[in-house]
C-alpha cells in the first residue's frame, strides 16, 4: 500500500457514496448487520467506517438501548457518514486510528470493520487492538474482498487503466482493496494477534449498475485510484474513466450491466 491509497479526500467521499456504495457495498453491509443483530450486543464499535454504509445498516438492527461507537481515521469520511445517518442518540462519532484505539480494554461486545482492514499498514497490530478492546467472549466481524479477478468490474477498470499507462499502470484496486484476499494469511495474522476461535466464509454477490459509465465513475473517481491517475498528469482522469466505460460496455453490454463480486466474511471471538 502506498501513502495515497488511504486518501479519501476532496470529492472522493461523495462520489464513493453515490456510485460505489450501491454498486458493491450495500449487500455486504446488510449481511454484516444481520450477523451483528443475531448477537444482540449491548455495545458495538465500528472501526474504519468510511462513508457509513455499514453504520446505517447496523444501526437499523440494534436494540434501542445499545451503544454504538463509530470511528474512522479520515475525518472527511467520518463527517460524511454522520451527515448521511439519521439522527440517532445511540451513536457516538469519533475520529480514531484502528491501530491505536482510544478506548479502555474490555469495552465492547462486538467490533466490526467492513472492507477496511486491507488499508491497515499493520494488520496484526490492528487485530491486536481489536482484541484488546473486546470483552471476553466478544466477537470481531470484518470483511475483505477476494482477489480482483473474482470482482469483475474492478478487474475490468484496472485492465482499462493499464491501456492508458502501459509503462506504469495504476494498480490501486489490485494492490490494496483486493490485495489482502489470502484466507490462510488472514487466519495466520489473526492467530498472531491473539485470536484462536475464528471462521471465514466466502460470499459471492451480483453487482448491478444502470450503465457502463456508473462503475467506471465509481472506481476511477470514487476511490484513491483517482489520486493515482491524477498524479500521472492533468486531465487524464476523464480519459481513463472513458476508457473504463468502453471496456465495461465491451464486456458486459451498453445497457444496464451486472458483474460478479466476491468477498470473505471473517468472524473471530475473543
Q: What is the mean pLDDT of the chain?
A: 93
Neighbours of 210 (CB within 10 A): 11
DSSP state of 45: E
Question: What is the spatial distance between Cα 18 and Cα 15, in angstroms, rounded to a whole number?
Answer: 5
Q: Give the pLDDT confidence score for residue 76 in this predicted structure.
A: 85
> Cell triple for residue 139?
466477537
pLDDT, tens digit, 9 for 90 and up, residues 167-186: 999 999 999 999 999 999 99
Question: What is the spatial distance between Cα 227 and Cα 28, in angstroms, rounded to a whole number?
Answer: 26
Residue 103's CATH number = 3.40.50.150
Q: Are 184 and 6 in contact (CB under 8 A)?
A: no
pLDDT, tens digit, 9 for 90 and up, residues 96-142: 999 999 999 999 999 999 999 999 999 999 999 999 999 999 999 99
Structural domain tally of the chain? 1
**Could you list the residue range(s) of the whole structural domain that residue 206 is in?**
3-269
* Residue 10: pLDDT over 60: no
> Cell triple for residue 180?
489482502
Question: What is the spatial distance between Cα 162 and Cα 193, in angstroms, rounded to a whole number?
Answer: 37
Mean pLDDT of 24-51: 96
* Residue 7: pLDDT over 70: no
Percentage of residues in the chain having pLDDT higher than 70: 96
Q: Which of 89, 85, 90, 8 is nearest to 50 (CA)?
A: 8
pTM of the model: 0.92
Q: Which of 15, 81, 7, 28 is nearest to 219 (CA)?
A: 15
Amino acid at each position: 500500500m502506498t501513502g495515497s491509497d488511504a486518501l479519501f479526500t476532496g470529492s472522493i467521499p461523495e462520489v464513493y457514496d453515490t456510485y460505489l456504495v450501491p454498486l458493491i457495498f450495500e449487500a455486504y453491509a446488510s449481511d454484516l448487520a444481520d450477523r451483528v443483530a443475531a448477537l444482540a450486543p449491548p455495545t458495538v464499535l465500528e472501526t474504519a467506517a468510511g462513508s457509513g454504509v455499514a453504520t446505517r445498516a447496523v444501526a437499523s438492527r440494534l436494540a434501542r438501548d445499545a451503544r454504538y461507537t463509530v470511528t474512522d481515521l479520515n475525518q472527511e469520511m467520518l463527517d460524511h457518514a454522520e451527515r448521511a445517518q439519521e439522527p440517532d442518540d445511540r451513536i457516538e462519532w469519533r475520529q480514531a486510528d484502528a491501530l491505536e484505539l482510544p478506548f479502555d480494554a474490555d469495552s465492547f461486545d462486538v467490533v466490526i470493520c467492513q472492507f477496511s482492514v486491507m488499508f491497515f499498514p499493520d494488520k496484526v497490530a490492528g487485530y491486536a487492538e481489536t482484541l484488546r478492546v473486546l470483552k471476553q467472549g466478544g466477537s470481531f466481524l470484518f470483511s475483505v474482498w477476494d482477489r480482483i479477478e473474482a470482482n469483475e468490474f474492478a478487474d475490468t477498470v484496472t485492465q482499462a487503466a493499464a491501456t492508458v499507462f502501459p509503462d506504469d499502470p495504476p494498480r490501486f484496486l489490485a494492490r490494496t482493496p483486493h490485495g489482502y484476499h489470502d484466507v490462510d494469511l488472514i487466519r495466520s495474522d489473526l492467530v498472531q494477534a491473539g485470536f484462536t476461535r475464528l471462521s471465514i466464509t466466502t460470499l459471492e454477490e451480483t453487482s448491478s449498475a444502470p450503465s457502463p459509465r456508473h462503475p467506471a465513475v465509481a472506481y476511477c473517481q470514487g476511490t484513491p485510484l483517482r489520486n493515482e491517475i491524477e498524479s500521472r498528469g492533468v486531465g487524464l482522469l476523464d480519459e481513463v474513466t472513458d476508457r473504463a466505460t468502453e471496456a465495461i460496455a465491451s464486456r458486459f453490454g451498453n445497457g444496464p450491466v451486472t458483474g460478479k463480486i466476491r468477498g470473505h466474511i471473517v468472524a473471530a471471538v475473543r
